[in-house]
Amino acid sequence: MKRILYVAFDQLNLNHGVLKTANPGEDAIVLVESARMTTGRPWHKERLFFLLSSARHFALELETRGFTVQYVQAATTLDGIAEAKKTLGDLPVFCAEPSSHVQMLLLSEAGIQFVPNDFFLTPRALFFQWAEKQKTYVMENFYHAQRVRLNILMQGTDPVGGRWNYDADNRLPPPKNYTWPDYLEHERDAIDLAVAKQLGMEATKTWATTRAGALLQLEYFVSTHLAGFGPYEDAITKENWALHHSLLSPYLNNGLLHAEEVVAAAVSAFETQGAPIGSVEAFVRQIIGWREYINGMYWFLGEDYRNENQLGATRKLLPLYRDSSKTKMNCVKSVVQDVEQRSWTHHIPRLMVLSNLALTTGTNPQEFLDWMREQFIDATDWVMVPNIIGMATHADGGKLMTKPYASGGAYLNKMTDHCKGCFYDPKKRTGDDACPFTTLYWDFLDRHKDAFKKNHRMFQQMSGLNRLSDLPEVRARAEEVLRGLSAGSI
């Protein structure tokens, strides 16, 4: 053997990263299941199950392809690599550039040599070139540049269909009398069962742990859900926890799928199977736009960005996040229950329910980040940090998003079917049955009015605040709500 190739648990791909040039005759492969990754924090078991079982399946696949593979359980990644060297010899170690600042520093200090990280469609240097030219980092501008550069859904220099973005046709509330397709289930094999036993849990059948399973999920999404993706992408319904979302983020993030093939499948459905442009464009934008932008911004904004707290939010994490029985708010209870069950909810519950509550209650962004990081199946540093610090909690003072994603009960009443039957009334901002979101929305604007009045994109909201005749009562109710939420009684 001439080299050791270290494969991180988020780089499980034969055709990308360090394995792209691997040769079974010369390269030994090392995967490390580090205790740092599995213990020490209250990680969601479904998340651990998915990460561990995917890596073990991948190690087995490498073996069947003739590679010498060491799958090591050790205290840390570096301990695991050192352990592997005891049998493989003191060979030079290579890996693909890691996906987080911490790992980047740790592995480079240990003398590990990097090959470029090609798990994204945009090399980091190219993203920097784009970002350095911007006054404000508007995702939509980046997305247009991506469409042109990657030549996706383009007709010459124009977007296919004549529009860059079909969002105005989407954003529908949950449909009535609608038949949702069945959820795709993934059967468990011996490796899955062994991992579940080690973790002391029974895994759901929601998540695949092999590339074959991930490909099935992709096919199922394209054939069954893609057409409906656009119209209902912002809706939340108690009738279906996934709606038409793809459930592909775990596989995109651990390497079992690559963005290129996911985008190609969606574009092909448009070109050959008549999938509607409004849905295909919306989905493609998530992958070549949002996903790439978030990763690029993670590296561009640097390591200290995660510690930003420009709204001075100091509240401790509310108990309802760790225990759904600690709230009477229908929408929040249901979303937290979804997370408890399968370690996932789609974008809008993450943003407009979980994060909206953290934002308007003034929850400390780093505490909220830690919780999200521990609970979500697709959470990794590069994706959680900008989404939480920038998009969700506005803790960066607007570097990523020009205005905070705060909303009252009216938005949730329109986009979800949770308000009917809730103890609280989305229209009320004062009184015992006032919707906590509605009260906190106004109180949040009031608390930060000095910062927001300089923001022209907040003009409408601040004008609304100025017109409120019952602000003293709203402030008093907000205090009760915040006390009740912290006590787990609201």
Ligand X SMILES: Cc1cc2nc3c(=O)[nH]c(=O)nc-3n(C[C@H](O)[C@H](O)[C@H](O)COP(=O)(O)OP(=O)(O)OC[C@H]3O[C@@H](n4cnc5c(N)ncnc54)[C@H](O)[C@@H]3O)c2cc1C
Residue 307 DSSP label = G
Using CA atoms, how far apart are residues 418 and 156, in angstroms rounded to an integer? 45
> Does 355 sit near ligand X (CB under 6 A)?
yes
Q: Name the binder of 334 from ligand X, ligand SF4, none, CB < 5-8 A by kind.
A: none
The continuous run of DSSP H or E covering 114 comes out as strand 113-115
Choose among ligand X, ligand SF4, none what residue 392 binds, the Cβ cut-off being 5 to 8 Å by kind.
Answer: ligand X
Please pick, from the candidates 206, 210, 249, 279, the single residue that binds ligand X as defined by CB under 6 A: 249
SS3 content of the chain, % helix, strand, coil (to 5): 55, 10, 40
- Please pick, from the candidates 422, 445, 458, 465, the single residue that binds ligand SF4 as defined by CB under 6 A: 422
Residue 437 as a binder of ligand SF4 (CB under 6 A): the answer is yes
Per partner kind, with CB cut-offs from 5 to 8 A, the member of ligand X, ligand SF4, none near residue 252 is ligand X
Number of Cβ within a 10 Å radius of residue 334? 21
The partner in contact with residue 419, picked from ligand X, ligand SF4, none with C-beta cut-offs of 5 to 8 angstroms by kind, is ligand SF4
Return the residues of window 15-54 that contact ligand SF4 according to CB under 6 A.
none
Shortest separation between residue 74's beta carbon and ligand SF4, angstroms: 45
Distance between CA 67 and CA 103 in Å, rounded? 25
On the CB side of 206, CA atoms within 13 Å amount to: 22
The single residue among 418, 429, 448, 477 that binds ligand SF4, judged by CB under 6 A, is: 418
Q: How far is the CB of 383 from ligand X (least distance, A)?
A: 4
Most distant CA pair in the chain: distance in Å?
Answer: 77
**Quick one: tokens of 231?**
């119209």
Length of the chain, in residues: 490
C-alpha distances (whole Å) from 51 to each of 45, 81, 193, 216, 325 are: 10, 19, 14, 18, 28
Nearer to ligand X, 238 or 475 (CB): 238
Number of residues that bind ligand SF4 (CB under 6 A): 14
Q: How far is CA 78 from the centre of its chain?
A: 27
Cα–Cα distance measured from residue 458 to residue 402, given in angstroms and rounded to the nearest whole number: 9
Q: How far apart are the first and last CA of the chain?
A: 62
- Taking CB under 6 A as the criterion, the residue among 47, 346, 394, 418 binding ligand X is 346
- Please report how close the Cβ of residue 183 comes to ligand SF4 at its closest, in angstroms: 24
Per CB under 6 A, the list member of 51, 401, 426, 458 interacting with ligand SF4 is: 426
**Angle at the Cα of 204 from the Cα atoms of 203 and 209, rounded to 5 degrees:** 75
Q: Which stretch binds ligand X (CB under 6 A): 69-77, 205-213, 298-306, 383-391?
A: 383-391
| 211 vs 12: CA distance, rounded Å | 9
Residue 199, both tokens: 């973790």
Asked if 247 interacts with ligand X (CB under 6 A), we say yes
Q: Which does residue 22 touch among ligand X, ligand SF4, none (CB within 5 to 8 A, set by kind)?
A: none
Residue 31 CB burial class (10 angstroms; 0-12, 13-18, ≥19)? buried
Q: Does 306 bind ligand X (CB under 6 A)?
A: no
Judged by CB under 6 A, the chain residues 325 through 344 that form the site for ligand SF4 are 329-331
The residue (of 88 and 284) whose beta carbon lies closer to ligand X is 284
| Of 460, 468, 463, 419, residue with least CA distance to 439 | 468
Residues that bind ligand X (CB under 6 A): 245-249, 252-253, 286-287, 290-291, 294, 346-347, 350-351, 355, 372, 376, 378-379, 383-384, 387-388, 391-392
Residues that bind ligand SF4 (CB under 6 A): 329-331, 409, 412-413, 418-419, 422, 424, 426, 435-437
